[in-house]
Structure 1
Amino acid sequence: MSQRRRRWRWLLAIVVTLVVAAVAGVAVAFPSVAATTCPGCYGMKQVRPGLYLEPGLPAARERHVAEVVDAANRRVAGFYGGRRSSPDLLACLTAMCYQKIGGGRERGIAVLNRAVMLSPNGVDPVIAAHEMSHVELHTRLGSGAGPIPQWFDEGLAVVVSDDPRYLKPESAGDRCRVSTQEALPQTLDDWLRTAKADQDTYAKAACRASRWLQANGGSQAVLALIEHLNGGGELPASLAAASRGTPS
């Protein structure tokens, strides 16, 4: 074997080793990313395109999860007038399964704005629609769009999912359960800290988001906001004011 060929084989072996090490590192450090990238690698069973469940479930439970996902899809599509996102969904019916795919104490979570994971306590149309709302919003927002406040992202997801824990029924007019005039978290880090310390954070964000929607045209205002931001526009004055704690 020539020296040149041996050198190329040696370099190839190094590259392969580095790739394997990188993949293993992601799997260890970010198991949810790895699991949503390759659900089958984590033992998840594909029951239909885009839907993965832990194996060994009775057929009736598989059908129930599929019905939950369909109901959640209808809520998101109903608000946005259709879907542009199609996130993979991984659902666990046992705590061991959810821990294995990188889940924590949350009921559900959107992963990299392209997949959704549901815990045993999150197999519910409300929780699924909440996480799907995050994915849909960020799918519609182009890469060049400016950031939206995290409180609005979360509050909007509560509205889209129609979560009764944080909002009154639509028939109530003003749907707020908890209101505040204080500024709400702008970034994800601030949101996580605030929500951990204040159990009413979701209700406050939902209140402000629902009032903004009511004052600005409902779901059409969100579609207009997305188009405005995708066109390079800045955050509208009405939403900027709401972020400061002085909603219009």
Structure 2
Amino acid sequence: MKTSPFSKSWFTRVGRLIGIGLLAVLVGYYIIYPHVFHCQTVRYSDFEKVNDKLFVSPDITQPQRRQMFQTIQRARTRVARFWGAARGEATFILCSSPAQYEKYCHSNEGAGCSLGTPWGDSYIILNPFGLNEDVVSHEMCHDELFTRLGWWTTTTEVPQWFNEGLALMLDRRFVNSTDSIQRYLDYMDEWLYLTNGAQEFLELEEISTMRGFFSGNQRHVMLAYMTAGMEVSRWMALVGSSGIKNLTVRVEDGDSFEDVYKQMEEAAELRSQIKLPETPLHPQ
């Protein structure tokens, strides 16, 4: 069967347009999400591949590596104890300098950050400066929630105050009590101090998005963290250690996060013999 010159020319033009379109998509993707692109292509960089889920900067010394590996393992144990089992499968990227950390994390602040993608890949980027078990546990908790609920639900259903507040339940940098009620009381003390005795506080709706939570000065971000920690620690003190598992299972099955969160809280308050101190976020 013969192909006409017109057909050849048409297919050539279409093929060229498709190629240009794909190139434009890739360039746009790199411009908008360069940090995600770098994470996805870390295996082609000079980072050393320890295994499929762990890449290490060649500048990190062996003693530093051993310390970081041990820290990750301890954090994994803490996460498994909190969740019942560690299901997260994030790829760890261990950086050796602020420049490397900013390249993969898209931020030069902090010692760790976590990223999730719509197609299910997740990454935890760590910087050896200031790295400890609390930092890794915090980021791994984000990944656990992402793994259970997926990118879409975590992004559209779960408010940022809950995502950050939950991670603080494993992060003892601000409040180190492991007792649920005492942890709530300690977070309330921190919150009262930052709000000048509950005079200047943030409503939960104000920090329900990533932008609302992190946009602002250092005091705003710290107050957002303490507000999230106080709210989630109160909820955890009411619903108990099985609460987070029950919530994520129901949300994973299609129930609304907001509805499940409130239903579990109200049911726990009715049957609880303990009356927790109230705040303007939860008036009598």
Q: TM-score, normalised by structure 2?
A: 0.74
Which of 106, 109, 124 is equivalent to 2:113?
A: 109
Structure 1 pair 55–74 and aligned structure 2 pair: CA distance change class (3 A): same
- What is aligned with 1:169? 177
* Cα distance in 2 between the residues matched to 1:157 and 1:122: 18
Please name the residue that 2:191 is paired with: 179
Residue 19 of structure 1 corresponds to 22
Structure 2's unaligned 5+ residue stretches are 193-197, 270-277
Asked whether the 8 Å contact 1:149–1:243 carries over to 2, the reply is no
1:9 equivalent among 12, 28, 44: 12
Q: Which structure exhibits the higher relative contact order, with contacts defined as CA atoms closer than 8 Å and separated by 6 or more residues?
A: 1
Note the C-alpha offset of 1:247: 7.4
Look up the match of 2:67. Answer: 64
Q: Give the AA of the match of 1:110.
A: S
* Among 250, 253, 256, the residue aligned to 1:228: 250
Q: Partner amino acid for 2:115?
A: V
The structure-2 alpha-carbon separation of the partners of 1:205 and 1:49, relative to structure 1 and needing over 3 Å to count, comes to same
244 and 13 in structure 1: CA distance in 2 versus 1, 3 angstrom threshold? farther
Return the letter of the residue paired with 2:229.
A
Q: Deviations over 1:182-223 (max 9, x none)?
A: 5332222211126744223323321322222122112x1011
2:168 is matched with which residue? 158
State the number of aligned residues. 245
Find the aligned partners of 1:28 and 1:156 in 2 and give their Cα distance.
32
1:29 aligns to 2:52 (yes or no): no
Where 2:182 maps in the other structure, the secondary structure is coil
Provide Cα deviations, 1:66-113, integer angstroms capped at 9, x if missing partner. 222222222211111112220111121112212333531332222126
Specify the alignment match of 2:215 in structure 1.
193
Q: Which of 200, 209, 214 is residue 232 of structure 2 equivalent to?
A: 209
Given that 2:181 and 2:237 are in contact with CA atoms closer than 8 Å, whether structure 1 keeps it comes out as no
Report if aligned partners of 2:56, 2:95 keep a CA contact under 8 Å in 1. Answer: yes
Offset of 1:173 from its aligned partner?
A: 5.1
Distance of aligned partners of 1:4 and 1:117 in 2 relative to their CA distance in 1, 3 Å threshold: same
How many angstroms does 1:239 deviate by?
5.0
Deviates more, 1:234-243 or 1:142-151: 234-243
> 1:148, 1:244 → 2: CA distance?
22
* C-alpha contact 2:180 2:237 (8 A) present in aligned 1: no
User: Identity over the aligned pairs, expressed in percent?
Assistant: 22
CA distance in 2, matches of 1:125, 1:83: 15
CA–CA distance in structure 2, aligned partners of residues 27 and 133 of structure 1: 27
1:99-138 equivalent positions in 2, closer than 5 A: 99-107=102-110, 108-112=112-116, 114-121=122-129, 123-138=131-146
Q: Which structure: larger Rg? A: 2
Q: Secondary structure at the match of 2:36?
A: helix
Q: Which amino acid aligns with 1:216?
A: V
Q: Secondary structure, in 3 states, of the residue corresponding to 1:236?
A: helix
Change (3 A) 1:12 1:84: same
SS of the equivalent of 1:200 reads helix
> Cα deviations across residues 5-34 of structure 1 (Å, max 9, x unaligned)?
343233223322322232232223211110
CA distance in 2, matches of 1:229, 1:151: 17
TM-score w.r.t. the length of structure 1 is: 0.83
Deviates more, 1:35-44 or 1:144-153: 144-153
* Contact 1:167–1:206 (CA under 8 A) maintained in structure 2: no
